[in-house]
Structure 1
Amino acid sequence: MFEPGHMHLQSIPGLGQGEADVHLRYEVRHDPEKGTAFMHFTMEGEIGGNQFKEEWDMARDTAFNFASDATHIAQKHGLNPRFGPIMRNHKDYDAMFEDIQAKLNIKPGEPVDLDKVIRGE
C-alpha cells in the first residue's frame, strides 16, 4: 500500500511467498557542502519472523533504482530470492517512482551516471 513518502509491503498469507511485513519510508535530504539533494530511505519490518531496520541514501540521479536496493536488503534479511522482487505491485511501484521523481524535481531525459548505478551508489 502506497502513500507519499511511505510504502507498506506485506506478503499475502497462503501463497507460499514467505512472511513479510515491511515499511519503506523515504524523504529528500540535502548535502549542504555539495548543495545537492538526495533521497534517504528507511526500511524496517519483519521477514520470516526476523525483525530488521536499515537506512541508506541514494544520489538524486540514481534514486530511481530504489526497488533494486530494497530487494537486496529484503533478501539479506530473509526474503528468499525465488520469491522475486520485494515490490511486486506495479501500481504502487509506479506511484512511488513518480513521487520520488517529483520530490527530487527530476525531469524525464535527465542524464544518469550509469557507473554510479552499477557501483550501487
Structure 2
Amino acid sequence: MFEPGHLHLVNLPGLGTQGLDIHLYYEVRSDSEKGPLVHFRMTGEIEGRNFEEEFELRRDTAFNFASVATRLAAKHGLHPQLGPVVRNHRDYDAMFEDIREKLSAHPGEPVDLDRLLRGD
C-alpha cells in the first residue's frame, strides 16, 4: 500500500511465497556536497525476523531504490528467487512518480553510471 513518503509491503506466507511485513519510508534531503538526495528507512520483518536499514541515494540514482531495497531485504532473509521486494507495479510506479516529483526530475536527465554501479 502506497502513500507519498511511505510504502507498506505485506506478504502472507504460503505456497511459493514468503511472509514479510516491510515499511519503506523516504524523504528528500539536501546535502551541501552531494546536493539533493533521497533518504530511505526500511523497517519490518521477514519470516518473523525484525530488521531496520537506512540508505541514501543521490538525485540521479534515486530511481534505483527498488534494487537497493531488494538487496537489503535479501540480507535479512528475502529469498532471491521470489523476485524484487517491490513486486506490485502500481505501488512501484506511484513511488517512482512521487520521488520524481519531489526531486523535480525529468525523463532523459543524465545518470552517473559509475556511481549507480557502485551503489552510491
The residue matched to 1:40 in structure 2 has which SS? strand
Query: Could you say what secondary structure the match of 1:61 adopts?
Result: coil
Q: Does 1:61 align with 2:60?
A: yes
TM-score normalised to structure 1 length:
0.95
List alignment gaps of at least 5 residues for structure 2: none
Once the two structures are superposed, what CA deviation does each residue of 1:7-61 show, in whole Å capped at 9, x if it has no partner? Answer: 0011134343111000000000111x33711000000000011100000100000
Is 2:28 the counterpart of 1:28?
yes
- Segments of 4+ moved more than 4 angstroms: none
Match of 2:97 in 1: 98
State the SS of the aligned residue for 1:57. Answer: strand
Q: Distance in 2 between matches of 1:99 and 1:77?
A: 27
What is the root-mean-square deviation of aligned Cα atoms in Å?
Answer: 1.1
Aligned length: 120
What percent of counterpart residues are identical? Answer: 61
Amino acid at match of 1:62: T
* Alignment gaps of 5+ in structure 1: none
Distance 1:5 1:62, change over 3 A: same
